[in-house]
């Protein structure tokens, strides 16, 4: 598939990180293992390694973001890169400059790595196709399509709690139809051979042909949560109500919100995840979000290590694995 090809360099290395689709279990495992080593850096007093010294990383966010952008910035700085944050609201793009012209100008400033979030699906692919050979693109979320580093930090968090994912059941609950996180996560989990993936949502929030991706579909949350090991909650966006996909947030919470009573249907040691930001009382009860099974803040911490690993890999500065 073309998607898998464009992010791989001719020598087989990861050149861009655009999607988890077609990435393969071995490469994902390589990223997770590298992230484990960077997780140690984050615990030290001096949280820096010199792997991206002399490199310039551009955070180019066409959609607002606090968490993702901050963790990318921290990750780049902990790798000793120079970081440029472009305020797109004030940039040339808002004056009518095309996306590719913006990128061309930044390339002319000898920037090496673009971390890009964009409201259009495929925007990161477009940029990756047009950058110079020694420039790298990391997709920090494109439209409804992909958010690979979020998916990778999620599976990293899962693996830390449930080392053998092949025996596990993962439930993804909420608006899968409009979730780039869910798409990327499903590809990553399948590549890692997870035992079972379930999607739980009202039908208006499910993409067509989810079953074709090897995902079991449940419209009843009580049935869907039975005996699962991992629950991934997705954020519900208010505009979904305006688009007549749901009657109201209260009805959604009553039907699909994660409460302690519903979580009790999962395995007792099940973990609860959420890519954030959470809407308490809409998709998740505060007692669950703040409860002992929640690993939501761990996900944020792990995001830095994963993003360090991805940046070092695409830039070609990551420590080589033995046997490569």
Partner 1 sequence: MTALCITGGRVIDPASGHDGEADVWIDDGRIAAIGAAPASFPEHDRIDAGGCIVCPGLVDLSARLREPGERHKGTIASESRAAIAGGITTVCCPPDTSPVVDAPATVELIRQRAIEADQARVYPIGALTAGLDGQYLAPMRALARAGCRAMGQADRDVGDSHVLRSALTYAATIDRPVILPACTPSLGHGCAHEGPVASGLGLPGIPVAAETTAVARIIALVADTGARVHIGRLSSAAAVDLLARAKADDLPVTADVAAHQLELTESALTGFDTRAHLRPPPRSTGDRDALREAVGAGVIDAICSDHRPHEPDAKRRPFEASDPGLSGLETLLGLVLARVAAGDCDLATALARVTAGPARILDLGLGTLTPDAPADLCIFEPETETVVDPDRFVSRGRDTPLAGRTLPGRVRTVLVDGRVRSG
Interface positions with partner 1 (CB under 8 A) = 1-3, 6, 21, 98-100, 118, 120-123, 125-126, 130, 142-146, 180, 183, 207-210, 212-213
Q: Name the pairing type of β-strands 271-273 and 136-142.
A: unpaired
For residues 35 and 186, which CB has a smaller minimum distance to partner 1 in the complex? 186
Residue 68 annotated in active site: yes
236 secondary structure, DSSP code: P
For residues 131 and 296, which CB has a smaller minimum distance to partner 1 in the complex? 131
**Alpha-carbon distances of 168 from 21, 25, 165, 190, 196, rounded to whole Å:** 21, 16, 5, 12, 7
For residues 27 and 180, which CB has a smaller minimum distance to partner 1 in the complex? 180
Q: Which of 27, 78, 117, 168 is catalytic?
A: 117
Phi and psi, residue 87, nearest 5°: -85, 100
Q: What angle do CA 321, 322, 324 make, to 5 degrees?
A: 75
For residue 272, give the 3-state DSSP assignment.
strand
Q: How far is the CB of 174 from partner 1 (least distance, A)?
A: 16
- Directed axis angle between helix 25-42 and helix 148-161, to 10°? 80
Q: How far is the CB of 188 from partner 1 (least distance, A)?
A: 14
For residues 88 and 304, which CB has a smaller minimum distance to partner 1 in the complex? 88
Q: How far apart are CA 290 and CA 284, in angstroms?
A: 10
Residue 147 annotated in active site: yes
CB of 174 closer than 8 Å to CB of 235? yes
Q: How far apart are CA 142 and CA 160, in angstroms?
A: 27
For residues 98 and 250, which CB has a smaller minimum distance to partner 1 in the complex? 98
Residue 222 burial by Cβ neighbours in a 10 Å radius (0-12, 13-18, 19+): exposed
Q: How far is the CB of 14 from partner 1 (least distance, A)?
A: 17
Q: How far is the CB of 276 from partner 1 (least distance, A)?
A: 19
Q: Which of 13, 29, 56, 67 is catalytic?
A: 67
Q: Which of 118, 147, 235, 262 is catalytic?
A: 147
Residue 67 annotated in active site: yes
Q: Which of 20, 68, 102, 169 is catalytic?
A: 68
Q: How far is the CB of 189 from partner 1 (least distance, A)?
A: 15
Q: Which residues have a catalytic role annotated?
A: 67-68, 95, 117, 147
């Amino acid at each position: 598939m073309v998607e898998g090809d464009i992010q791989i360099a001719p020598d087989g290395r990861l050149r861009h990180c655009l999607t988890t689709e077609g990435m393969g279990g071995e490469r994902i495992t390589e990223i997770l293992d590298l992230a484990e080593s960077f997780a140690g850096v984050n615990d030290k007093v001096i949280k820096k390694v010199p792997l991206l010294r002399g490199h310039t990383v551009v955070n180019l966010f066409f959609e607002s973001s606090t968490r993702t952008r901050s963790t990318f910035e921290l990750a780049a700085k902990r790798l000793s890169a120079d970081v440029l944050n472009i305020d797109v609201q004030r940039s040339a793009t808002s004056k009518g400059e095309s996306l590719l012209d913006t990128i061309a100008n930044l390339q002319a400033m000898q920037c090496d790595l673009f971390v890009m979030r964009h409201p259009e699906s495929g925007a990161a692919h477009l940029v990756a196709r047009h950058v110079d050979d020694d420039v790298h693109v990391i997709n920090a979320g494109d439209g409804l399509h992909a958010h690979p580093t979020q998916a990778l930090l999620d599976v990293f968090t899962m693996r830390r709690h449930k080392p053998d994912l092949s025996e596990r059941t993962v439930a993804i609950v909420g608006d899968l139809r409009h979730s780039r996180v869910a798409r990327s996560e499903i590809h990553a989990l399948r590549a890692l051979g997870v035992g079972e993936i379930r999607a739980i949502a009202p039908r208006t929030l499910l993409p067509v042909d989810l079953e074709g991706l090897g995902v079991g579909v449940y419209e009843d949350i009580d049935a869907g949560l039975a005996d699962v090991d991992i629950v991934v909650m997705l954020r519900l966006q208010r505009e979904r109500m305006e688009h007549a996909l749901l009657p109201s947030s209260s009805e959604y919470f009553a039907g699909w919100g994660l409460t302690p009573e519903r979580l009790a249907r999962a395995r007792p040691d099940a973990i609860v995840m959420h890519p954030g930001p959470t809407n308490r009382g809409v998709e998740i009860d505060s007692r669950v979000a703040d409860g002992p099974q929640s690993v939501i803040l761990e996900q944020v911490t792990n995001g830095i290590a994963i993003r360090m690993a991805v940046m070092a890999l695409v830039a070609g500065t990551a420590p080589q694995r033995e046997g490569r």
